[in-house]
Amino acid sequence: MKRAFVLITTELGAEAEVLETLEEISEVVEAHQVLGFYSIFIQVEAETMQELKEIVTQRIEPLYKVQATTTMICLDPESDG
């Protein structure tokens, strides 16, 4: 299983709306609204690295009212890539 943490900046006041949409994505296993530079912090899991990349770039980043994301992909030393 591949895992990433994604920090999301939304339009001002859109945090709850975006969070609700993110919670409908089955690969988003954890989601929190946070205070600070970022608006939302999520954990995403997928079977392959390619699936993980597609979830972030095709399903999360294009969401309405998402302004920017920072993605941190976890490296598993026991995996083959």
Distance from chain centroid for Cα 24: 12
**Mean pLDDT within 37-50:** 96
Q: What are the tens digits of pLDDT across the range 64-81? A: 999 999 999 998 765 444
Please state whether beta strands 66-73 and 40-46 pair in parallel, antiparallel, or not at all (unpaired).
unpaired
Per residue in 2-22, pLDDT tens? 999 999 999 999 999 999 999
Into how many domains does the chain fold?
A: 1
Structural domain includes residue 38 = yes
Which run of H or E residues covers position 31? strand 28-33
State the amino acid at position 24 in one-letter form: E
The model carries a pTM of 0.90
CATH of the domain at 16: 3.30.70.920
Domain assignment present for residue 48? The answer is: no
Tell me the C-alpha distance between 67 and 60, whole Å.
Answer: 11
What mean pLDDT is predicted for residues 26-45? 97
DSSP annotation string for 48-76: SHHHHHHIIIIIITTSTTEEEEEEEEPP-
DSSP label at residue 74:
P
Judge whether residue 28 has pLDDT over 80: yes
Does residue 50 sit within a domain? no
**Residue 30 banded pLDDT, cuts 50, 70, 90:** very high
